[in-house]
A and B are shown apart, each in its own frame.
Chain A
Amino acid sequence: MDLSLLTDGLLAEREQGITIDVAYRYFATPARKFIIGDSPGHAQYTRNMVTAASTADVAILLVDARHGLQVQTRRHAYLARWVGIPRVMLAVNKMDLVDDGRQVFDDISEQFNSFASELGFDEVSSIPVSALRGDNVVERSHALDWYSGPTLLQYLEAVPARHDEQAGRFRFPVQRVVRIADGNVQPGSGYEDKQFRGYQGTIASGSVCVGEEVVVLPSGAKAKVAGILTADGEIDEAITDAAVTLLLDADVDISRGDLVSAAAAVPYLRNEFDAEVCWFDQQPLDSLRPYLIKHGGTTVRARFSLLRHRVDVDTLKLEKNPASLVMNDIAGVRLRSQRTLAFDAYRDNRVTGAFIVIDDTSNRTVAAGTIS
């Protein structure tokens, strides 16, 4: 059976025998629900791999036991770490095609461990599998009886998900300002005779309670949370990932793109910052021209004021001061934005520390960045 027929859903993919874009697949076991973002290995489509990785809790890198680690394996491990996936699993496939499988597996996993440990994952593991025979995918096998660790599915059912680990300071990027006034109220909502202004958004980190003091950035205006509204009514407390409408007690000037933050622990406020970017576009970076940066709900103009280094993903060596960036390059850069941004480092906050770069003539998303 050709398993790629399951995920290579585009005609061009079947014609060329490769995966071009991410295929999302859904399955559930009694323990958990899973979304697989099956992404391409080809260098040309790295941006699609990053698309899948950016929302993932765990990365499974698939290598062929006959060929071992490839440059693309290292690139994908690097990018998985770059987008902040804490755990990576190396699935060494086609174990049915190698002699002395134990030695082959040990060599590959040792190589991978030493590469991946430099990247700073919380956990690196390897499993020998044969997708063809199903060895160690769901059930263990006699053919690989020297392996005593979990099967791939056991691993996935047990590995911590990011949602279990959330914490942090309260951050609330404002998506929309809503004014309830004449004519725009939902019939039957109970708000027909009320007037208010609220701020719609999703809590990026931490939690918030009614009565808590918050600060609105970049203006710095202070206020107290007067109410937290959901479609089920007002609530006293809201947690990370909840999509709510905040009401504040003071009449402060807030618009889309502002960040409501815990007053006790505020983010950085700067218009120049260091970041690590992955360049996606076929057209190389032109550091003379401005780009648009989308950060939370804000879109601002920004320039690449300094190209510090480019990362060689094979050796992890840094090439100093590259002249430009081309597709798939990963680089340390400095950006200068037209307006002050309120941000955290990406390692502290995956929402307020992340941005994408848009070319304002083509409107394409040309790069993604994490703030250092």
Chain B
Amino acid sequence: MNMLSEPGRFNEGDVSGIDWSHLDALEAEAIFILREVAAQCSNVALLFSGGKDSAVVLRLAKRAFFPERIPFTLMHIDTGHNFPEVIAFRDRIVKERGLRLVVRSVGDSIRNGRVRLRDESEPRNPHQSVTLLDAISELGFDACIGGARRDEEKARAKERIFSFRDEFGQWDPKNQRPEIWSLYNARVAPGENIRVFPISNWTELDVWQYIRRQRIPLPELYFSHRRQVVRRNGSLVPVTDLTSPRRLVMPSKKYKCVSVPLAISPARPRSNRVRPR
């Protein structure tokens, strides 16, 4: 049982005060982790999608290394199913910071046969891991930093902060390295790698509080706005270039305009939103 500082001490306007809030504790832990990756690993990718968790990790990296430029390569595994706002946001951030971004796309993996969809409408998110593993071996990364959190899902609640992947890119949850104190062991043999999750201990609420405190810019679509959606299999699906009206099971009222705040993945119900580990 670990106790962070009292949430009551969190003061949203105060960034520089000596008062030590739970956000300060979480930030300091994440900075330590990011510096440790930079020190122990030689070729590090920071997975950056333009989504809120990766925006937080990127901000933490900026603060961890300030005033040095972030010593990582940004990598986006692009499903091709992103809102254009998110891609524009991604590209703007990368340009402003003078960072190096590599994009590898699930679409390419489909075209070259590494990923086979059962049909066009199958969600692409579960296939991101194939593209990710190919990119890791192509670019020779020995560590990959991700924005996954332990409060997201039951299996992830078990994952270490420095999580070992074998030469097949696989996580063996039954045989994880012990992770004692903050003595992280990032040693790997060639072909193996470490996934690093600096915001493992953050909750969804912590992420939003930190975004507010640090005024981290996000793509507009995180905030409530009007958007055209249609109902499909019980989900509200936004109308984008990828939403084919022909396949919609909506005989009469084809387009229904509803104002809802939308999550980042455009065309899929939440249960399919699996990010690559």
Contact = CB atoms under 8 A, between A and B. Distances in A.
A358 interface: yes
Given A22-B158, A243-B28, A355-B183, A189 B39 contact: no
Interface string A169-188: 00000011010100011111
B2 A34 contact: yes
A184 B22 CA distance: 31
A59 B201 contact: no
Contacts of A57: 1-3
Interface string A54-68: 111111100000000
Interface string B11-50: 0000110101010010110011001101100000000000
A161 B38 CA distance: 30
A176 B62 contact: no
A50 interface: yes
A356 interface: yes
Contacts of A30: 7-8
Interface residue SS majority, chain B: loop
Given A30-B8, A243-B32, A256-B39, A294 B185 contact: yes
A163 B5 contact: yes
Interface string A1-35: 00000111110100000001111111010111111
A151 interface: no
A47 B39 CA distance: 26
Contacts of B8: 30-31
A32 B174 contact: no
A205 interface: no
Nearest to B7: A33
A51 B65 CA distance: 28
Given A9-B157, A163-B5, A186-B69, A239 B20 contact: yes
A9 B156 CA distance: 8
Interface residues of B, number: 62
B168 interface: no
Interface stretch (B103-111, B147-155, B241-249, B267-275): B147-155
A284 B235 CA distance: 55
A363 B183 contact: no
Nearest to A354: B181
A191 B1 CA distance: 41
Contacts of A200: 35, 64-65
Contacts of A241: 20, 25, 28
B88 interface: no
A194 B150 CA distance: 40
Interface string B50-64: 000000000000111
8 tightest CB-CB pairs across the interface, nearest first? A9-B154, A231-B63, A191-B67, A189-B67, A243-B31, A161-B3, A231-B66, A363-B187
Given A10-B174, A26-B151, A37-B1, 14 more contacts: A21-B174, A24-B157, A28-B205, A33-B6, A34-B3, A34-B4, A47-B178, A187-B98, A189-B67, A230-B63, A231-B64, A239-B18, A241-B20, A245-B66
